[in-house]
Amino acid sequence: MHLRRLACFLVGAWIAGGLFMALVATQNFRGVDRLLDRPAVPAAQQIAEMGRDAARMLLRYQVSEQNRWYFEHWETAQIMLGVLLLFIVFLGSAQDTPALTMALLMLILVVGQKFWLTPNIVALGRGLDFVPAAASAAERSRFWMYHGAYSTTEVVKWLLGLGLAARFVIRGRRGSGRAQRDIDSVDEPDHRHINR
């Protein structure tokens, strides 16, 4: 019972962390344009000296590096969460093959992100940070292909996590109903003796 609750908590933390990271990454880039639209007076002077396009490129580079750092470390944390979740699911329900499969798939997906997708996204992104948008269309296309694959794996992980949590909640309700029936059956008046 407690292992099931702990597994649901870990899945919830994992999904919440992923949603938070998606929010942070998108808002960091939007923050660049918000800053350029309404800069403080000293910043406005620096932006005017650099030129708006150069300042935007530099600020987006800083945000890109920050997001890369966040995602690389979040993936490491996800691997630790995944190993812990798989261990807890195994301890709590070793015979529940679908639950073990979902937890294992979540871990495999994050390992794929950490060691294949993210390194490619980082390498391509760093190569494009100071290249004008019109240049290198092929490289940008590859970057967005990897980015799309990353987003797809995120959604699949979230769906697997929700499925795993739902499985534990449903099984928990079934188990508590069965335990209540077992308790009720002992209290029935036609049970006159106790087997020892």
Comparing 177 with 88, the larger pLDDT belongs to 88
Q: How far apart are CA 32 and CA 28, in angstroms?
A: 7
Confidence of residue 57 (pLDDT cuts 50, 70, 90): very high
Cα 80 to Cα 110: distance, rounded to the nearest angstrom: 10
- At residue 180, the pLDDT reads 47
Residue 78 has pLDDT above 70, yes or no: yes
Domain boundaries, given as residue ranges, for the chain? 2-175
pLDDT of residue 179 exceeding 60? no
* Secondary structure (H, E, C), 47-76: HHHHCHHHHHHHHHHHHHHHHHHHHHHHHH
Q: What is the pLDDT of residues 147-166, one digit of tens each?
A: 999 999 999 999 999 999 99
51: left (phi over 0), alpha (psi -120 to 50) or beta: left
Q: Which burial class, exposed, middle or buried, applies to 58 when counting CB atoms under 10 A from its CB (0-12, 13-18, 19+)?
A: middle
Give Cα 171 to chain centroid, integer Å: 25
Contact 102, 49 (CB under 8 A): no
The pLDDT score that the predictor gives to residue 175 is 60
Q: Indicate the pTM of the whole model.
A: 0.83
| Full DSSP string of 129-184 | TTS-TTS-HHHHHHHHHHHHHHHHHHHHHHHHHHHHHHHHHHHHHHHHHHHHHHHH
- Give the pLDDT confidence of 81-120 residue by residue, as tens digits: 999 999 999 998 778 999 999 999 999 999 999 999 999 9
Question: Whole-angstrom Cα distance, residue 151 to residue 153?
Answer: 5
Quote the pLDDT of residue 64. Answer: 96
The band of 133, judged by pLDDT with boundaries at 50, 70 and 90, is confident
CA distance 56 to 47: 9
